Amino acid sequence: MFLSLLLESPPLAVAWVAAIFLALTVHEFSHALVAKWRGDRTAEREGRLTLNPIAHIDLMGLIPLLLFGFGWAKPVPYNPYNLKNPKWDSVLVGIAGPVSNLLLAVIAAIIMRLLIVNGILTSLNLLIVFLFLLIIINLFLMIFNLIPIPPLDGSKLLFAFFDAPKYENVRRFIAHRGPQILLILVFLAILTNLNIFFFVSKPAFAVCDLLLADRCDLFFYLLFGG
């Protein structure tokens, strides 16, 4: 899909990649910022407390981004034992990323609606296209990262609730096998073009409709034809 998009509409492809880079950068920066706020400076020492996207690039995540239009950034390191409250501050560090994506989507939606309502730009102006992609991508990232499978952010909340010794084997299994299961699902979704993550796309589009006054599907159709 992304390669054909690049050939058919290079500006749209560039806007797509730019929106992903911005969303991922803000996401990872937010993890680092909250970790520092709660007492751990590991991410700051490793140069991750920055909005420079280069600091957050993961080569393994960059390749599928350029090939398929979907990728991931380098996880932000933190030491939970440096946090003021290791159990719940780990949750705060985890959800900081998804919360930042929601805020970025809301800001983009406000700007987009102001530009269109006031007649400053048309619906298919490149800036409007970029803002729409920024909304969709941030909402997808937010909901996707709340899935309680490591290394996604939702797993921090799962482990906080199931921290009793009797759940040790379950936590160990999820921590060990979770990334493998997630990677298989992601690449299966990319390579087969199947909507495996429908439980992500449906709420993402629902929130998008709330932000854009039920015009999310219309903008998506105008850009991608369906």
Residue 77, φ and ψ in degrees, nearest 5: -80, 145
End-to-end Cα separation, the chain, in angstroms: 13
DSSP codes of every residue in 102-155:
HHHHHHHHHHHHHHHHTTSS-TT-HHHHHHHHHHHHHHHHHHHHTSSSTTSTHH
The residues near 82 (Cβ < 8 Å, ≥ 6 apart) are 39, 40, 41, 42
Side-chain-facing half-sphere of 36: CA atoms under 13 Å = 16
**Annotation marks residue 28 as catalytic:** yes
Name the active-site residue from 8, 28, 44, 168: 28
- By annotation, the residues acting in catalysis are 28
